[in-house]
Amino acid sequence: MHIYIHIPFCTKKCPYCAFGSYDKSFDMVSDYFKALCFEIKNYKFKEISTVFIGGGTPSSINSRYYEPIFEYLKPYIGKKTEITTEANPNSATFNWLNSMRKMRVNRVSFGTQSFDEKKLKFLGRNHSANDTKMAVFNAKKAGFKNINLDIIYGTKLDSKKMLEFELQNLLNLEINHISAYSLILEKNTSFENKPQFQKDSIVLAKFLFKRLNEMGFKQYEISNFGEICKHNLAYWKLENYVGFGAYAVGFNKNKRLYSPKDLIKYIKNPLQKEIENLDKNDLKIEHIFLGLRSILGVDSQILNENELKKAKILEKENKLSYKNGKFYNTNFLLADEIALFIYDDFTKN
């Protein structure tokens, strides 16, 4: 089984970020973790394949809060369990990383965003390029072999030169995974309605993907490169996963389970979930979108006759390739357009 644990605290809210996190609620940390432990202890676990501690900023919380959680999960964690934590470069100290590593966390994902001080300032980050370098150094010292760095591209400050600068810095740090996200102007953030902040350029994205590939980071999903993260892969395969904590989402067969998007509500009742039922068509759309955005591909058996015809047209045009009963996307940047073209219900509307 796969589990996700949400930590909704950040030392500073970034102006572009719409994730469930607060920078002024640290007085609730103790109650939040009590509720989180209660929710986790209430669950009947089986062997755990992957754990992902996300946020928010897990490294903004003292490692001792995680101890009871890992103590409880210990019997279900094996040698092969992938356990990732997200962390911010300025709060992931050696002591924090070392304690997490001792609790068997074996993968760390740093929100680097950029190595350019001007771009970091533009993104409202409270860390420097040097903080990332120190964080990676400390993670290695603590024994982490699987290290991811998140970067953001497609900002008004990006150019081929800027991206090359980011890439050289990434390369120098000798890590094995990179997540590169194109800046999204999210609703209800300070970046909303600021199109001038974004440079939505296919030329730049293609350049970035090509260079990452040349550097040995194989693209396995539109935003992910390098050594495959098993937890991410499970999401895209539509495997079941359990979400713990406020804002967490879980998935079970044909149901999506949403935890409260409010700390007080969650602390009052950590077990409440809102349930969304997904029908066969919803699952089919997700399978198509996720399969085309990643190396997973789309099973031809789920397509009807007409959809199959359209997929074959794309295959002839070399936009899709076909192997062992599956269609694979050759250009992830076109994933959504291809999905919309193939799936019949969209053309009916």
Ligand X SMILES: C[S@@+](CC[C@H](N)C(=O)[O-])C[C@H]1O[C@@H](n2cnc3c(N)ncnc32)[C@H](O)[C@@H]1O
Q: Which residues contact ligand X by CB under 6 A?
A: 16-17, 19, 54-55, 57, 86, 88, 111, 113, 150, 152, 181, 183-184, 186
Which does residue 59 bind out of ligand X, ligand SF4, none, counting CB within 5 to 8 angstroms by kind? none
Residue 286 tokens, joined: 């997700």
Residue 132 — φ and ψ, nearest 5°?
Answer: -65, -45
Q: Which is nearer to ligand X, 20 or 260 (CB)?
A: 20
Question: Is position 245 an interface residue for ligand SF4 (rule: CB under 6 A)?
Answer: no
Chosen residue from 3, 5, 10, 311 binding ligand SF4 by CB under 6 A: 10
Binding mask 69-88 for ligand SF4 (x = CB under 6 A): -------------------x
C-alpha distances (whole Å) from 296 to each of 287, 338, 343 are 10, 15, 17
* Rounded-to-integer distance, Cα 273 and Cα 269, Å: 10
Pairing of strands 224-226, 241-244: unpaired
Residue 182 — φ and ψ, nearest 5°?
Answer: -80, 135
Which does residue 184 bind out of ligand X, ligand SF4, none, counting CB within 5 to 8 angstroms by kind? ligand X
Q: Which is nearer to ligand SF4, 21 or 49 (CB)?
A: 21
Task: Note whether 270 and 30 are within 8 A (CB).
Answer: no
Which does residue 60 bind out of ligand SF4, ligand X, none, counting CB within 5 to 8 angstroms by kind? none
Please state the closest distance from residue 52 (CB atom) to ligand SF4, in A. Answer: 14
Q: Which is nearer to ligand SF4, 177 or 287 (CB)?
A: 177
Residue 279 tokens, joined: 């029908």
Tell me, what DSSP letter sits at residue 229?
P
Sheet with 298-299, strands from edge to edge, namely: 298-299, 326-329, 320-323
Please state the closest distance from residue 328 (CB atom) to ligand X, in A. Answer: 26
Counting every residue written for the chain, the total comes to 349
What is the number of the residue whose Cβ is closest to ligand X? Answer: 111
Task: Note whether 104 and 83 are within 8 A (CB).
Answer: yes
Strands, E, within 204-336: which ranges? Answer: 219-221, 224-226, 241-244, 249-252, 255-258, 274-277, 298-299, 320-323, 326-329
Binding mask 93-122 for ligand SF4 (x = CB under 6 A): ------------------x-----------
Please state the closest distance from residue 6 (CB atom) to ligand SF4, in A. Answer: 10
* Rounded-to-integer distance, Cα 131 and Cα 134, Å: 5
Question: Is position 19 an interface residue for ligand SF4 (rule: CB under 6 A)?
Answer: yes
Question: Is position 56 an interface residue for ligand SF4 (rule: CB under 6 A)?
Answer: yes
Q: Which is nearer to ligand X, 57 or 294 (CB)?
A: 57
Q: CB under 6 A: which stretch of 11-19, 171-179, 315-323, 332-340 binds ligand SF4?
A: 11-19
Which does residue 246 bind out of ligand X, ligand SF4, none, counting CB within 5 to 8 angstroms by kind? none
Rg (CA), the chain: 21
Neighbour-count burial of 285, counting CB atoms closer than 10 A to its CB (0-12 exposed, 13-18 middle, 19+ buried): middle
Binding mask 286-325 for ligand SF4 (x = CB under 6 A): ----------------------------------------
Contacts of 305 (CB under 8 A, 6+ apart): none
Single-letter code of the amino acid located at 313? I
Question: Is position 89 an interface residue for ligand SF4 (rule: CB under 6 A)?
Answer: no
Gap between the terminal Cα atoms of the chain: 38
Task: Note whether 144 and 98 are within 8 A (CB).
Answer: no
Which does residue 258 bind out of ligand SF4, ligand X, none, counting CB within 5 to 8 angstroms by kind? none
Question: Is position 25 an interface residue for ligand SF4 (rule: CB under 6 A)?
Answer: no
Please state the closest distance from residue 196 (CB atom) to ligand X, in A. Answer: 15
Report the interface residues with ligand SF4, using CB under 6 A.
10, 13-14, 17, 19, 21, 55-57, 88, 111
